[in-house]
Structure 1
Amino acid sequence: MMFAGGAQAAIAIDGKVDEAQWQQARAYQDFKVTEPYRLEAPPAGTGTTARLLSTPEGIAVAFELEQSSAFARVKPRLERDQDRAADRVNVSIDFDGDGRTAYSFSVDRAGSVQDGVVVNENVLNLDWDTDWSWAVSETATGWQAELLIPWSVATMRGADASTRKINVYFSRTLGSNGERQATPAVATSRGRFVSGFEPIEIAQYRKPLLHFWPYLTAHHDLIDGRTRYNAGVDVFWKPSPTFQLSATVNPDFGQVESDDLVINFDAVETFYSDRRPFFTENQSIFDLTTPDAGRLIHTRRIGGDADDGSGASDIDAALKLNGSVGALGYGLLAASEDGEAGRDFYAARLQYPLRPGLNLGWLGSLVQRPYRDREAQVQALDLSWKPNDRLIVNAQALASFIDQAGRGSDDSGAWLRINWTPSNRWRYELELTHFGDRLDFNDLGFQRRASLNEMEATAVYLHRIEDAASKLGSTRWSAELQARSNDRGDRLPTYLLLGGNLNFRNGDLIYLEASLISDGADDLISRGNGLWQRSGRYDAEVGYSSRRYGDWSLGASIELAPRGLSARPTQEVVLSANWYPSDAFNASFEFGPDRGEDWLIWEGGRNFGRYARRGDFASLGLSWFPGQRHELRLKSEWVAVRGSRGQGYRLQPSGRMAASGQALPDFDVNNFGLQLRYRYLLGPQSDVFLAYSRGGYRRQERDGIGGGALFDDALGLRDADQLLAKIRYRF
C-alpha cells in the first residue's frame, strides 16, 4: 500500500496540471487495455499519467493524456450521464476500502460528466448526481483534466484518524474506437471489479457541510387551462464524515426526465429507475438486489400511484440518515404521503465488516397502507465473502410478513452466488435461488416473481488475440444453464443461453445470442388462473455496434423470439444511428419494427387471444449546447402494436390451450410522448428548467390499419399537454 500525503494549499481546478502540489501526488502510469480485455500495453501515442492528492477541500485527481494524430479527437458536448463515444477519463473511489461500494466520476474532453455508484462489484447506477468540480484543457500533444471530489460526497466509516485507507481505479477511453485503458487492470465484464481496486493511504480531512435547496415550480395544463404552483425545500447536513442527514418538505418529486415509453402485455411490471435527487443521494447503502433483477428497496414506490387509483401520490415529507459508528455503517429512510390513500414508508440498513473480506448486513422495511388495511414488513440478512482475489461469495436470506385486513401471509427466501475467476481467460458462476410461494417485497421493493427454485451455472471464456495484424482484438464466449421450478413443484422451462462477442481492434462490436428453451410450465401468464404447459422453443439475436465513423456511429440488430403458442418466432429489427455534426449538437435515431404470426396475450381469467402481431417503435433525440451553461433537448418516442386475425383460446385444467372458436376483433395500442426541455445551469446542483411535454396512450378495437395511419393518430394523442417551469437553487 502506498501513501499519498496531503496538500494544504488549494489547487485551482482549471484543467491545467501545472501546480507544484501535483509533484507530491501519487502517480499512476501502468495502464493496460481492459476493454476489449486484452491486458496489453496501450498503443503508442496514448500515454496516460494519473495523479491523486488529498487536500482539505477533497480528493484531487489529475490526468495528463497523450493522444497522437493517429487517434481522432472525439469531444461532443453531452448531457450529464449521457453515454456516447467520447474521449473520457474516469476515477472510481472506494472510500471505505472494503470492496462493497465505489463512487465513479468521469469527465470527457468537452467537459461533459458522468457520476454514479458501483455496487455488487460491477453494477453501475448513473441515477446518482452529486456536487464535484472538474475542468479540462487541450494541449499540443493531447489533453489534461483535473477533478476535485469533496469529502462530503459519501459517508465514511472510521473517520477520526488523520489518514484513511481507500481503494482507487483510473481509466481513460478513446472515443475513436471505444478502447478503455485502466489501472489496476480490472474490468466490469470480469465479475470482480470494485474489490480489485488498488489500495492507497491518504491524509484525511474533516469538512462540515450544510446546504438548502428551495425550489419553486409553475405547472400550466394546456388541456384544462389551470396553472398550479408548488414550493418546497431540500436540506443536506453533514457535520462530520460519519453522519449525514437529508430531508425534504413538500418535495417536488415530479420527474423532469421523462421515462421511456413501453407497451407491456407481460405479467411482470416494467422497471423504471429513479432520478429524483433526494432518493439518489447516498442511496447505495439501500441497494440490496436479488438475482432476478429484483430490489428490496425501489424508491419509485414512494410517490407512486395512490392506493385509491387517483393518480400519483403527493409526498408530505421524507428523511434519510446515513452514517457510521466505528466499523458499523447504517442508513435510515422514512417518507410519508399525503391524503387518505397515502402510505408511510420506513427502511433501516446496517452493514458490519466481521473481518477483512467478510461483511454482514441487515435490512428491514415497513410499509403502512391504511386505505387497503395492509401492513407489509420485510427482513433480510446478506453476506459478502471475498477470501482471495479469485473467489467471491454472496448470500442473502429474506422474509416478508404481510397483514391485510387481519389476515397474515408470511414467507421466506434465500439465494447464494459463487463467482470464481481462476484465470484471465475463464470465469465461472453458480447461483442458487429459493423464493417461497407467498414471499412478497413489492410494497417497497421490486419483485419480478415469487415461488421460484432456480439453479444457474455460467461459464465465460475470453480469448485475447495476440496478433496485432488481426482485425479482431478479442472474443468472449459464454454458456449459461438455468434449471427452474416453482415452489409448488411444477417444472418451469429450462434455458440454455449461449452468447458471443467479437471485439474488433477498430472499436466495432458484433454480438451473438441464442437460447434453447425446453418445454415446461408457464405459471405467470394467466396471473394465477392456472398453468400453461408451454412447448419447447428457441430465440436468437445478432447485433452490430460501430465505432464512430466521421460524424456517425451506427447500430443494428435482428432478433427471432417466440411470443405465441408455437415456436414460430416474431422477427424484430432495430436500426439506430448517432449523428455528431458539431461538438455542440448531436442527434440519435432509432427504429424497430417487429412482425409475427403467433402472439398470445392474456384477456382475463383463463381466456387468451391469439393474434398476428405488428409492432413499430421509433425515437428521436436532439441535444444542442449553445453555451457552457445552456442545454436544449428534444426527446420524442412512438410505440405502437397491432393485433389482427384474433382467435379466442381458453386455458384447460390440463395446462393445454384449447381454441374456443371465437373470433376476436382487431385492436391496436398507440403510445406517444414528446418533451422539449431547456436547462440553464445556475451553479452547482442549481438549475432552471423550462419544459413542454405532450403525449398519450390509447387502445381501441378496429380493423387493422397501416403504420402511417397509426403514427398520424399518435400525433393527435393528448392525455397530457403541459408547460413546466422550475427553479432549484442551492444555498
Structure 2
Amino acid sequence: MRLPLAHLCALAFAWPGIANAATITVDGRLDEPEWATAQRFTDFRVTQPYTRGTPRLRTEARLLSTPEGIAVAFINQQPPGVPRVKPRIERDQRRASDRVNFIIDFDADGKIAYDFAVLLSGSIQDDIVTDETEFNPDWNPDWSWAVDEDEHGWCVELLIPWTVTAMRDSQAPTRTVAVYFDRVLGSNAERQAFPVASSERARFVSKFHHIEIPQYRRSLFHVFPYITAQHDFIRDRRDYKAGADLFWKPSAGFQLSATFNPDFGQVEADELVVNFDAIEEFQSDKRPFFTENQGFFDLRTPEDGFLIYTRRIGGESDDDSGLAADIDAALKLNGSIGSLGYGLLVAEEAGDAGRSFYATRLFRPLSETLSLGWLGTRVERPALDRQADVQAIDLFWQLHEDLSINAQILASFIKEHVIEEQGGRSNGDGAWLTASWSPSDRWEYELEALHFGRNFDFNDFGFQERNSLNHLQLSGEYEHEVNNEDSMLRSTSWGAEVEVRTNDSGRRLPGALALTQSNSFRSGAELEFEIEWESAGVDDLISRGNGDWNQPARRNLFVSYRRPVRGAWQIGGEVEIFQEGLSGYTFEGELVVNWFPRDDFNLELSAGPVYGRDWLVWGGEIDEDGDELGFRRYRQRTYSVDLDANWFPGRRHELRLKAQWLAIATRDGQAYVLDDGELQATGEPVPDFSANGFGVQLRYRYQLGVQSDFYLVYSRGGELELERASLRSSDLLEEALELRDADQLLAKIRYRF
C-alpha cells in the first residue's frame, strides 16, 4: 500500500527546535507543494539481516535543499497489523524502537558523516560517524524534527541547518553530498536502507549515494552561559560556578567555538569501573565544547587508540592531588580554504601545574579516490617538566569500488628532564594499514598491519593501550541468505579471524584464532557464537614493566542471544566461558531486560555474575634484591547490576534514575613470583580482599527552549577496598548501599542566547 503525499495524521509531535525552512513547515505533515519537487529514494533493501531483499513494508525518503538547511522526509508504511514500538527515551539512548536514520557526508569523501535519527515516539539520536563504522553519540547539534502518524503509517520531517558543521567548498552554488537513509522496525529489528550499505560491514560511509544539491550560505552566533550551584552534604559546603560556551559560524566554511571556565557539573553519570588491569578504562566525553565539531580531529588507530582523547583536558591534575584539573579556557577552530580543511584546538588548565594542550589538523582530497591528512599535537606539563609532541599523516585510498586502504604514519617526540638525565631515547614511531576488500555482497575480507615502536607514546593527549607492538590480522566473513520461507532462519553468517603479534623486542605476544557464527531469525531474534583459541606468548604488561610472563595458551567460548520485542518486554543475554590466570576457567554471564509498559516510561536492567577460579593480579611487591616480583592469584566472584529508568511526565520534562553496583570478592589467595618468565608459587597465602562500588543519580531535566535546559541532579556513591574474608553477595550489596564518599545536590541552568 502506498501512503499518500499529504499524509495527514491525527497526532503531530512538535518538539523544541522546530522551525520554518522556506515554505516547508517541519510538522511531520508533507502537505507543502515543494515536497513534490524533492529528490525521491524508494529502492530500500533489507540490510539487517544483510539479505538485500525487498522489504515487506514500503518506505520512501525525500530530500530538498532549502536556504535554511537540508530538509528530509520519510513516509513509512505500517498498517495496524504491524506492532509499533515507540518508547520515549533520552537523547542518544539506545532502545528497541521504530525509527528512521538520515546520515549525510557533507564533503562526500567517506571520512566523516553525521547521523540524525528520529524515533516514532519523537525522541532523537545523533552521532558523528568516523572510520567508516565508528559511531560517537557525544554530539548534540541543533536541528529540527517532527513526527506524524495515523493508522496506515507514520511520517517524519527533518531539517538539518547548513551551520550544523564545517564543510569544504562552502562558497560554491552547488555541492555534492553522500547520503544514506534507513528505517528500523522495533518489533523485529529489521533494517531497510538506501543505498545498500551496512555499518556492520567494513565499508559503510564510503558506500553512500552521491547527489548534487543547491548550496546556501547561513550564519549563526550563540552564547551559552551557565550557572551551577552545588551542595555537598558530607562537608556541608556550597559551591557556585559560572561560565560560558560560545559558538560562531559565519558560514559553513568557518566555525569557531570557545569556552570560559567550562562546566563539569555531573549531569551525565560515568560508568562505574573497578579496574585492576595494566590498561586504563576509556570513558566517553559529553562536554558540549569538546563534542562540537570534534569529528574533524577524530583520528583513531587499531587496538582502540585515539590520537586525541579530550578527557585528558581537565583530567587528573599533575600536582598529585588526585583531583581533576580546572580549565581556564579552550578554543576550537574549524574551516576550509577551497578543498583544504583545517582545524585548531587549544586548551589551558589553571594553576602552576596546569597543562597546555594544542592540536592542529589539515585534510585535503587529492582526487575522487585519494585523500591525505595531517595532525600535530603538543602537550606541555610544567609540573612534570615534560613536553610531548605527536605527528600523524593519514591516508585514504579507494583503489577500486570494492577495495580501499586506510593508513597512518606516526611519530612522537618526548622531552622530559628525567629522560634526558638518564640518557634515554625520547622519540618513537608507528605506522598502520588496513585494506578492506568486498568482492561480492556475500564475502568480505580485511587485512590489518600495525607497528608501534617501544618509545612511541601519544598518551599525553591521546588514548593508547600499549606501545612496543607489531600486529598482523586477517579476517573474513561470509553472509548467507536463507530463501526458504518456511525456515525459522532468515540469514546466517560465518567469520574467521587470525592474529599474530610480537613486541618491539621480537618476543611473541599471544596470538589468536577466532571463529564466529551468527543467526538472524525471521521472528527478529538473534543468536551468535564465538570460539577463540589464544596461543601461548609473552604478557609484557601485567607486571607494569617489571618483567615478562610466559602466558600459557587459552580457549574462550562466547554465546549471546536476543529475543524480539514481545508486548512490553525485550530480553537478551550472553554467556562467556574463558581461561585466565594460569589457564583456570571463568564463567561470566549477563541478563539484559528492557521493559516499556507505557510510551512515557521505560526501564532497562542488566545484571550478571562472574565466577573465576584463577584470577591473577599484579600486587606490586619486589623483594630486597629487586629480582622477584609479587603476584596474587585468587578465586573470585564479581557481581554487577545496572538500572536505568526514564519517565517523561510532560513534553518538556524528563526524570531519570541511574544506579550501578559493582563488587568483587576474593578467597584462597596465594602469592606467586616471576622467575625467568614463569610464575612460581611461594607457598605463602595472601589476604583475601573485596572491592565494592555503588553509585546512584536521580536527575530531573526541564527543557527551557532550544538547547537550553535546567537540571536538578542528586548523586550519591562511593568505593571501598579492604583486605578481609570473602563476604556473601547480600552482605556486599547491603554494604554498598551505605557507601557515601560523595553525596551532593546540583542545580544547573544552561541557556542559549
State the TM-score bracket (shorter-chain normalisation): over 0.9
Could you tell me whether the CA contact under 8 Å between 1:685 and 1:730 is conserved in 2?
yes
1:346 equivalent among 352, 358, 370: 358
Give the partner amino acid of 2:723.
E
Q: Give SS of 1:189's match.
A: coil
Deviation, 1:8, is 8.0
How far is the alpha carbon of 1:101 from its aligned partner? 0.9
Alignment partner of 1:369 is 2:381: yes
Change (3 A) 1:8 1:704: closer
Alignment of 1:577-592 (within 5 A): 577-592=593-608
User: How much has 1:499 moved relative to structure 2?
Assistant: 1.2
Q: From 438, 443, 447, give the equivalent of 2:464.
A: 447
Matched, 1:394 2:417: no
1:40 counterpart = 2:53: yes
Instruction: Indicate the SS of the match to 1:493.
Output: strand
> Could you say which residue in structure 2 is the equivalent of 1:594?
610
Looking at structure 2, the residues matched to 38 and 211 of structure 1 have their Cα atoms a distance apart, in angstroms, of 46
**Is the Cα–Cα contact under 8 Å of residues 10 and 57 in structure 1 kept in the other structure?**
no
**What does the per-residue CA deviation read over 1:315-344, in whole Å, with 9 as the maximum and x for residues that have no partner?**
000000001011100110000001121100
Per the alignment, residue 313 of structure 2 pairs with 302
RMSD: 1.0
- In 1, Cα distance between equivalents of 2:641 and 2:392: 41
Q: Which residue does the alignment assign to 1:383?
A: 395
- Which of 433, 438, 441 is residue 424 of structure 1 equivalent to? 441
Identify the residue that residue 651 of structure 2 maps to in structure 1.
Answer: 628
By how many angstroms is 1:388 displaced? Answer: 2.2
Helix, strand or coil: the match of 2:300?
Answer: coil
Is 1:111 paired with 2:122?
Answer: yes
Q: How far did residue 299 of structure 1 move?
A: 0.2
Q: Which amino acid aligns with 2:113?
A: A
Displacement of 1:597 after TM fit?
1.4
In the alignment, what sits opposite 1:613?
Answer: 636
CA contact (8 A) 2:554 2:580 kept: no
Provide the residue aligned with 2:300 in structure 1. 289
- 1:171 is matched with 182
SS in 1 for 2:170: coil
Q: Secondary structure at the match of 2:426?
A: strand
Q: Does 1:135 align with 2:146?
A: yes
Between the aligned partners of 1:640 and 1:67, the Cα distance in structure 2 is 46
What is the aligned partner in structure 1 of residue 535 from structure 2? Answer: 518
1:147 maps to which residue?
158
Query: Partner letter of residue 35 of structure 1?
Result: Q
Equivalents in 2 of 1:255, 1:17: separation in Å? 41
**CA deviation digits over 1:218-237, x for unaligned, max 9?**
01101001110000111000
- What is the aligned partner in structure 1 of residue 25 from structure 2? 12
Q: Which residue of 2 aligns with 1:499?
A: 516
Match of 1:189 in 2: 200
**Equivalences for residues 572-721 of structure 1 within 5 A:** 572-605=588-621, 606-652=629-675, 654-721=676-743
Q: Does 1:226 align with 2:262?
A: no
Task: Judge conservation of contact 1:10–1:55 (CA < 8 Å) in 2.
Answer: no
Question: Is the 2:28–2:146 contact (alpha carbons within 8 Å) kept by the matching residues of 1?
Answer: yes
The answer to whether the Cα contact below 8 Å between 2:307 and 2:458 also exists between their aligned partners in 1 is: yes
The answer to whether structure 1 residue 235 and structure 2 residue 246 are counterparts is yes
The unaligned stretches of length 5 or more in structure 1 are 1-6
Distance in 2, Cα, partners of 1:237 & 1:249: 15
Counterpart secondary structure, 1:316: strand
Q: Distance in 1 between matches of 2:472 and 2:308?
A: 24
Match of 2:284 among 264, 269, 273: 273
Distance 1:478 1:253 in 2: 43
Deviation of 1:306 after TM superposition, in Å, equals: 0.2
* Deviation (angstroms), 1:568: 2.0
* 1:22 maps to 2:35: yes
**Letter of the 1:288 counterpart:** L
Distance 1:9 1:648 in 2: 74
Corresponding residue of 2:270: 259
User: Is 2:436 the counterpart of 1:413?
Assistant: no
SS, match of residue 487 in structure 1: coil
Query: Does 2:325 correspond to 1:313?
Result: yes
- Structure 2 contact 141–164 (Cα < 8 Å) conserved: yes
1:87-137 C-alpha deviation (Å, 9 max, x unpaired): 101110110111111100000111000001111111111111100000001
Structure-1-length-normalised TM-score: 0.98
Moved over 6 A (4+): none
What is the distance in 2 between the residues matched to 1:219 and 1:170?
43
- Local SS of the residue matching 2:36: helix
Please give the secondary structure, in 1, of the residue aligned with 2:449: strand
Secondary structure in 2 aligned to 1:383? strand
How far is the alpha carbon of 1:290 from its aligned partner? 0.5
- How far is the alpha carbon of 1:266 from its aligned partner? 0.8
- Shifted more, 624-633 versus 69-78: the winner is 69-78
Match of 1:3 in 2: none
**Cα contact 2:306–2:462 (8 A) shared by 1:** yes
CA contact (8 A) 2:531 2:557 kept: yes
Residues 419-442 of structure 1 show CA distances to partners (whole Å, capped at 9, x for unaligned) of 000001110111110000011000
Amino acid at match of 1:91: F
What code does the residue aligned with 2:41 have? Y
SS in 2 for 1:592: strand
Kept in 2: contact 1:255–1:276 (CA 8 A): no
Which segment drifts farther, 34-43 or 400-409?
Answer: 400-409
Q: Do the aligned partners of 2:38 and 2:64 also contact (CA within 8 Å) in 1? A: yes
Partner of residue 459, structure 1: 476
The amino acid of 2:156's aligned partner reads A
Give the whole-Å Cα distance in 2 for the aligned partners of 1:589 and 1:208: 44
* 2-structure distance, mates of 1:672, 1:253: 21
Contact kept? 2:96, 2:186, Cα under 8 Å: yes
Distance 1:70 1:454 in 2: 52
Q: Distance in 2 between the 1:562 and 1:642 partners?
A: 19
Give the Cα–Cα distance (whole angstroms) in 1 for the partners of residues 99 and 667 of structure 2.
49
| 1:509 CA displacement | 0.6
The residue type equivalent to 1:421 in the other structure is S
Deviates more, 1:440-449 or 1:681-690: 681-690
1:403 and 2:415 are equivalent in the alignment: yes
Distance in 2 between residues matched to 1:178 and 1:386, nearest whole Å: 32
Are positions 1:476 and 2:493 aligned together?
Answer: yes
CA contact (8 A) 1:613 1:641 kept: yes
Long gaps (5+) in structure 2: 1-19, 622-628
Distance in 1, Cα, partners of 2:636 & 2:685: 16
- Which of 561, 564, 570 pairs up with 2:586? 570
Give the partner amino acid of 2:610: D
**d(CA) in 2 for partners of 1:556, 1:97:** 39
Aligned-pair distance for 1:70?
2.9
Whichever residue aligns with residue 370 of structure 1, its letter is: P
User: Conserved in 1, the CA contact under 8 Å of 2:80 and 2:151?
Assistant: no
Counterpart pick for 2:550 among 533, 538, 547: 533
Displacement after TM superposition at 1:573 (Å):
1.3
Deviation at 1:460, TM superposition (A): 0.7
1:62 corresponding residue in structure 2: 73
Aligned to 1:728: 750
Check whether the contact 1:26–1:51 (CA below 8 A) recurs between aligned residues.
yes
Partner of 2:7: none
- Once the 2 structures are TM-superposed, how far is the Cα of residue 270 of structure 1 from its aligned partner? 0.4
CA contact (8 A) 2:202 2:446 kept: no
1:531-582 deviation line (CA, Å, top 9, x unaligned): 10011111111111121111100011111122211x2211111111000110
